[in-house]
Amino acid sequence: MERVLSGVQPTGNVHLGNYLGAIKQFVELQHQADCYFCVVNLHALTIPRDPAELREKTLELAALYLAVGLDPDKVTLFVQSQVRAHSEAGWLLQCVARMGELNRMVQFKEKSKGADSVVTGLYTYPVLQAADILLYQASRVPVGEDQKQHLELTRELAERFNRDYGEVFTIPEPMIGKVGARIMGLDQPEKKMSKSAESAFNYISLLDDPKTIEKKLKRAVTDSENEIRYDPETKPGVSNLLVIYSLLTDTPITRLEEKYAGSGYGALKNDLIEVTVDHLTPIQQKYQEIRKSAELMQILKQGAEKASQVAEDTLHKMKEAMGVI
């Protein structure tokens, strides 16, 4: 059975972009592949954070994974820091990666822009991400489009390692959805929806209550025409709303264009508010139940044990190949 791995950082509020671009695919994949999904909390350290908040967000994200429908009997769900092999393999791969490669990473350039000082982890984090994937010999990695460059680096490092030290790694393929790979910010539809956006009006968090969802969608930027048409170039705001609507209801965008022909943006927004609240309410109810139960810690412990077995096996092969005893 094919192996799949992906992770999400426990930073900020998990939003519809993370969900529609990545996590929703995880739920579908659990029936078809041997899936490993993790909370990549070590990546979250690349920007200084409050420790108590990081702890809380780590559990929140793990509970959200379960609340959206990941079944711990089908998938291996774990927290990255609880599998030590990630840090060790990350170092070994830092000794394979080149500075020139990391200098080209667009996400590093964006996240370090304007900052007075930047931790070295932000620079080397794509290498740790490569370790996360390669340790599990994953052949497919479901991610949003923003991660494409990091996946290319992962493939490059795996190929170089296999060439220089001997065949150890499976070369992974990114799995990027055709629609929804890039959900845009509600307040700035020319940029991707982001947890670290300055304004909360940028995103809809999976845990936003109905009133907040209504306020945010009502304020979503559209354009001065009044035509509901999918055209991301000239109508990025309306197109983004159509994509979100389409993915939440499994309705083709063309059907939505037909449905709303002649209607105003208000009608589209009102229906999307209803669709979003209906989709998120059961997730939020399940989330509250999971957070109250003691089951979560047990699931994460078992997940880390299972993940460690696979990861340690690959780490051992890496060390053998590199002559590290």
- To the question of whether residue 198 is assigned a binding role by annotation, the answer is no
Tell me how far apart the alpha carbons of residues 220 and 216 are, in angstroms, rounded to a whole number.
Answer: 6
Catalytic residue status for 195? yes
Neighbours of 21 (CB within 10 A): 26
Catalytic residue among 57, 74, 109, 111: 111
Cβ contacts of 106 within 8 Å, gap of 6 or more:
149
Binding mask 146-165 for ligand AQP (x = CB under 6 A): xx------------------
Nearer to ligand AQP, 46 or 314 (CB): 46
Pattern 193-232, binding to ligand AQP, x per CB under 6 A?
xxxx------------------------------------
Strands, sheet with 34-39, edge to edge from the N-terminal-most edge strand? 76-79, 34-39, 3-8, 140-142, 173-175
Between the alpha carbon of residue 205 and those of residues 54, 113, 245, 315, the distances in Å are 17, 25, 15, 36
111 is catalytic: yes
First to last CA, the chain: 32
Segment interacting with ligand AQP, rule: CB under 6 A, options 5-13, 30-38, 164-172, 257-265:
5-13
Least Å distance, CB 43 to ligand AQP, is: 7
Binding of ligand AQP at residue 182 (CB under 6 A)? yes
Q: Which residue is nearest to ligand AQP (CB)?
A: 21
Region binding ligand AQP by CB under 6 A among candidate stretches 95-103, 177-185, 224-232, 308-316: 177-185
Check residue 87 for interaction with ligand AQP (CB under 6 A): no
Closer Cβ to ligand AQP, 86 or 318, answer by number: 86
Q: What is the token pair recorded at 15?
A: 């939003």
Q: Which stretch binds ligand AQP (CB under 6 A): 16-24, 223-231, 254-262, 303-311?
A: 16-24
Contact pick of 12, 172, 174, 189 for ligand AQP (by CB under 6 A): 12
Residue burial 293-306, b: 16+ Cβ < 10 Å; e: rest? eeebeebbeebbee
Angle made by CA atoms 44, 45, 46, in degrees to the nearest 5: 90
- 278 marked as binding residue: no
Shortest Cβ distance from residue 232 to ligand AQP (Å)?
Answer: 13
Q: Spell out the alpha helix ranges (H) of the chain.
A: 16-18, 24-29, 41-44, 51-67, 85-94, 99-103, 106-112, 120-134, 148-165, 210-218, 236-249, 253-259, 265-292, 295-322
The contact pattern for ligand AQP, residues 105-144, with x = CB under 6 A and - = no contact, is --------------------------------------xx
Is 313 one of the annotated binding-site residues?
no
For residue 11, the minimal CB distance to ligand AQP (Å) is 4
Residues 6+ apart with CB under 8 A from 185: 191, 192, 193, 194, 197, 202, 203
Taking contact as CB under 6 A, which single stretch among the options 68-76, 151-159, 180-188, 207-215 is the one that binds ligand AQP?
180-188
C-alpha pair distances (Å), 222 with each of 83, 126, 234, 298, 309? 44, 35, 10, 45, 50
Q: Report the interhelical angle of 210-218 vs 265-292 (nearest 10°).
A: 150
Q: Among residues 195, 216, 235, 269, which one is catalytic?
A: 195
Q: List the catalytic residue out of 24, 178, 191, 192.
A: 192
Binding site for ATP: which residues?
A: 9-11, 17-18, 144-146, 183, 192-196
Under the rule (CB under 6 A), what is the footprint of ligand AQP? 8-9, 11-12, 17-18, 21-22, 143-144, 146-147, 181-183, 192-196
Active site residues: 111, 192, 195
